Chains A and B, each alone.
Chain A
Amino acid sequence: MDAASAAQNTGQGTELAGKYLTFSLGNEGYGVGILSVREIIGVMEITAVPHTPDYIKGVINLRGKVIPVLDLRLKFNMEHKDYDERTCVIVVEVQGQTSPVQVGMVVDSVSEVLNVSAGEIEPPPSLGSSSETENILGMAKVKGEVKILLDVNRVVGEGLLQHLQS
């Protein structure tokens, strides 16, 4: 995560090099820094929490701990897809207001852990509005595929915090 945030400031690919857990949403491949990933679990029953945005699916019981779960498809305004046996929840740890918090992210399927080198990383594309790319650390081209490297702290952490403040 340190590497990730440092990269935010410098925009250099070198700091972004490292291991990423890759997963897919529709046809797109994504990656999150392996250091922030705590575990991967199958989808379990989620308890909905009222008065929250769509993409916050609710909360689950992670071995006695209640953690929020958000649907990355909905978060990125992608089409909803019913959960199936390949659907996974990636539990990541991000910096909360006071202490680290764990949050689950629902993804279509988890692929593999990739070692991404600095030369394979390019800066995020400009999609017109910055709000859509600010979650993206960079684009990695590995084995002929493009993986979108996500800044977990922004996707998850701020998503939740923004909601709390509103």
Chain B
Amino acid sequence: MAAADKPLSDLLDDVALKILMIEPGDLSIVGELLELIEKLLPGGAAADTPVVIQQMAAAFKGVLEKLIMGELADSAENYDLLGQCVIEMQESARKEGRPGAEIIARFCANMKQIGFSLEPEALVGSVNAAVTAPGDTKDAAIIEEKSAVVQAQAPAASEPGQGAIPDFLQDTDLLAGFIEEAFDHLESIEVNVLELEQSPDDMDIINNIFRPFHTIKGVSGFLNLKTINRLAHATENLLDDVRNGKRPMDSAVIDIVLTVGDALKSMVAGIKDVLQNGPANYKDTDISGFLVSITQLQNEGDGAAPVEVVSVSAPDSPPEVSESEEDELLPDETVAAVVPDKPAFAKAVSGSGAASLRAPQSQATSAARTAADSGTKKIGASIKVDVEKLDALVNAVGELVIMQSLVRQNKLVSRIADAKLTKDFSQLTRITSELQRTAMSMRMVPIKQTFDKMIRLVRDLSKKSEKKVDLVMEGADTEIDRNMVESIYDPLVHMMRNSVDHGISTPAERVKFGKPETGTVFLRAYQKGGSMMIEIEDNGEGLNTQKIRKKAIERGLISEADSLSDFELNNLVFLPGFSTADKITDVSGRGVGMDVVKKAVEKLRGKVEVQSQPGKGSLFLIRLPLTLAIIDGIIVRVGSERYIIPTIAIQESVHPEPKNYSTVHGRGGNLMVRGELVPIIKLYEKFGVSSTYTDPCEAIVVVVENEGRRRALMVDELLGKEEVVIKNLGGIDVPGVAGGTILGDGRVGLILDLAGVIADNTD
């Protein structure tokens, strides 16, 4: 990760950004935040961090951990306060690690308000304390931090060969395979869990969840990924209880399985990081919180008295999770880990952390056996292929198809009147087109994968905000370029969040406005006009254009005199200056980070816009280019050039009659098409080629529609319809041309980008 080389200020900026993005209940972001903060800790990636900031980061991390463990309230106020703390850290960084007492005091005050006691001396004094051994600083929080760190590292020093540097790096190939596999498994777990919510008693689904956990457990044990192994194992045990009817499948179990899934995901991501950037990035994740909750759930199911966390007294010595017992979870000992007595808590945590660092040899071998059963099953289901190889294959197949038609059209060959040859040729055609289809499909993946993640998101968001939201997905099988899947995920999440959080109001309010209690968010994907479209539509409140206008004037984005259409006004929310507005909620809740979304979409050379009707809802439209996708196109001829017009955009083609054709000042012709005046765009003029016809009434026009605008493109001739693969022009990028494709005769044809053709013309 590039973040490793980032200077301190950039890291803090990242932290600040993450804090902004955070939503109560979204622990995955807290996890990401934790990762960032850890870079600031002693021994973290940002090596030159001043000691004071390291201490601040340590306290900050403490808070985050408590948030994750649920000891501190996961509330918006706390995140705001954390935001303040980051600002103070930033200030300290600007002062080169010598913040005044005032900043320190503010930082501590904010920390205290969150519920994390911290004395200024702890920070200032730490400058010395950090140099000497972890001394007896009075503050429990600091002790907790330090002892956790120190104790976790201790075994590393005492047991050479098995310590903090992960020993699972021996077989990186296996590990890489595991990472890939684990992500797939975790994905399937999530989907299945959500399905389970609909039908909690379906044993098949429970089995479908159980199995991936089992596999992860097995393989991770085999690879010596102990933390992952333990967590997966515990969860598997819980699910086993469910399977055996020991406890019902209820929302508590579902929730824990989902959160464990998230935690495992981030752990696997951490391993991936280690694999890519070296063992220095390794850090162990604290899973004791999960283990406790799981044990608790299991105990409930066993009919035992619910474990009262508070009532369990803290053992004086840190519990040793002994090596032989590693495979079996010991409920009592782990429960002790959450006893709110801080020193004991710290010891317990670090104790288990230390234990997990030690490699129980016997366990590893036994896990190896499990891995052998469960691991081999998956191998062969899919393989990873270098994208370049895939591209080469697609190109080669494309050439094959072209060569085949060239051979077939060869004058000598086509003169042969032989039934066998004809039959063989058509057989060959079938094979090659099948080959082409397969090759092509390898690069594309359905957007379903990404959409499925939204189910979870909407579920969580609506639950948290106590709104009733239905998510309706359409076109999940629309195929999207593999490379685009990852980049589109973040903007999509952001917009979904906006729609649920701000677009849809609470059931009570909705009823008041005469709407059904349950709001609906539509998520659609389809291809249009050579673009991939993703729509996020909600039937919520829509944007308040008046307020947007006011805000935009305030921010100096528009002037009082500007007259803008509602559409233009709404789209102001994508301006960077707009979304930094302090009271976002004033503007109907929209605009948070919308410029971020816009940037991300534009990076994919796409576009995003919003249409909204006050009181009825809003529609966010993401338009992405189909860089590598196939499009259906009509091939037209203009002079000696051939262009491809995306079929979806075409409404009709007509031979204009003189009575329907009119000009303005002898220029800029219009054509009357079914009672509507459509401006004519003369492609030969536009592209500077010489054409057969210059009079529209002799030529043919193709009426196209793009983003609500109709235009008549004047061409010489229609040559046919073909499915073509968009290829980029090898570095040339011009307006009006979306890309090139290889036509049946092996020459390159240009694919029109109608938005460009039309936009350019109106300028």
Contacts and interface: CB of A to CB of B under 8 A. Distances in A.
A152 B384 CA distance: 35
A68 to B, nearest CB: 5
A43 B177 CA distance: 46
Given A50-B687, A50-B736, A61 B748 contact: yes
A160 interface: yes
A50 B688 contact: yes
Contacts of B516: none
Interface in A94-134: 96-97, 101-103
Contacts of A51: 687-688, 734-736
Interface stretch (B143-151, B211-219, B282-290, B739-747): B739-747
B181 to A, nearest CB: 29
Interface centre among A65, A66, A96, A161, by most chain B C-beta atoms within 10 angstroms, is: A66
Contacts of B729: 49, 59, 66, 68
B742 A66 contact: yes
Given A48-B641, A64-B395, A64-B399, A59 B689 contact: no
B732 A68 contact: yes
Contacts of A65: 395, 727, 730
Contacts of B398: 64
Contacts of B741: 66
B732 A56 contact: yes
A64 B730 contact: no
A45 B732 contact: no
Contacts of B737: 49-50
Nearest to B639: A48
A49 B395 contact: no
Contacts of B171: none
Given A49-B737, A51-B734, A61 B641 contact: no
A93 B475 CA distance: 40
Contacts of B728: 66
A102 B398 CA distance: 19
A63 interface: yes
Given A50-B688, A64-B398, A160 B731 contact: yes
Given A59-B730, A66-B742, A47 B747 contact: yes
B733 interface: yes
Given A48-B689, A66-B742, A61 B734 contact: no
Contacts of A102: 730
A102 B730 CA distance: 7
Contact of A164 (B396, B689, B727, B731): B731
Nearest to A50: B687
A30 to B, nearest CB: 22
Given A63-B395, A64-B399, A66-B740, A47 B748 contact: yes
B626 to A, nearest CB: 15
A66 B748 contact: yes
Contacts of A59: 729-730, 732, 740, 748
B742 A61 contact: yes
Nearest to B687: A50
A11 to B, nearest CB: 29
A66 B730 contact: yes
Interface residues of B, number: 30
A52 interface: yes
Interface string A37-53: 00000000101111110
Interface centre among B733, B746, B747, B748, by most chain A C-beta atoms within 10 angstroms, is: B748
A106 to B, nearest CB: 15
A65 B397 CA distance: 12
A67 interface: yes
B750 interface: yes
Given A47-B740, A66-B748, A164 B732 contact: yes
Contacts of B399: 63-64
Interface in B91-148: none
A101 B733 CA distance: 14
A49 B741 CA distance: 13
B730 A67 contact: yes
Nearest to A161: B731
Nearest to B640: A48
B547 interface: no
A137 B388 CA distance: 32
Given A59-B740, A61-B742, A66-B727, A50 B686 contact: yes
Nearest to B756: A51
B646 interface: no
Nearest to A157: B731
B748 to A, nearest CB: 4
A21 interface: no
Contacts of A66: 727-730, 739-742, 748
B639 to A, nearest CB: 10
B641 A160 contact: no
A18 B507 CA distance: 77
A112 B687 CA distance: 38
A47 B395 contact: no
A51 B727 CA distance: 18
B9 to A, nearest CB: 27
Contacts of A47: 641, 740, 747-750
Interface in B366-400: 394-396, 398-399
Given A47-B740, A48-B689, A61-B747, A160 B734 contact: no
Nearest to A160: B731
A60 interface: yes
Contacts of B641: 47-48
A4 B734 CA distance: 30
A155 B456 CA distance: 52
A75 B689 CA distance: 21
Contacts of B687: 48, 50-51
B710 to A, nearest CB: 22
Contacts of B748: 47, 58-61, 66
Contacts of A56: 732
A63 B746 CA distance: 9
A50 B737 CA distance: 8
Given A61-B748, A64-B398, A49 B732 contact: yes
A101 B399 CA distance: 20
A160 B688 CA distance: 20
Contact of A52 (B394, B686, B734): B734
A48 to B, nearest CB: 6
B459 to A, nearest CB: 38
Contacts of A48: 641, 687, 689
Contacts of B731: 68, 96-97, 101, 103, 160-161, 164
Contacts of B730: 59, 65-68, 101-103
Given A61-B747, A61-B748, A50 B733 contact: no
Contacts of B750: 47, 49-50
B406 to A, nearest CB: 12
A50 B742 contact: no
Interface centre among B686, B730, B736, B740, by most chain A C-beta atoms within 10 angstroms, is: B730
Interface centre among B733, B736, B740, B746, by most chain A C-beta atoms within 10 angstroms, is: B740
Q: Which 7 A-B pairs have the closest CB atoms?
A: A64-B395, A50-B687, A47-B748, A67-B730, A66-B740, A51-B734, A66-B727
Interface of A: 45, 47-52, 56, 58-61, 63-68, 96-97, 101-103, 160-161, 163-164
21 contacts: A45-B747, A47-B747, A47-B750, A49-B729, A49-B750, A50-B687, A50-B750, A51-B735, A59-B730, A59-B732, A60-B748, A61-B742, A63-B395, A65-B730, A66-B727, A66-B748, A68-B729, A97-B731, A161-B731, A164-B731, A164-B733
Interface of B: 394-396, 398-399, 641, 686-689, 727-737, 739-742, 746-750
Given A49-B732, A164-B731, 10 more contacts: A47-B750, A49-B734, A50-B687, A51-B735, A61-B748, A64-B396, A66-B740, A67-B730, A68-B731, A160-B731
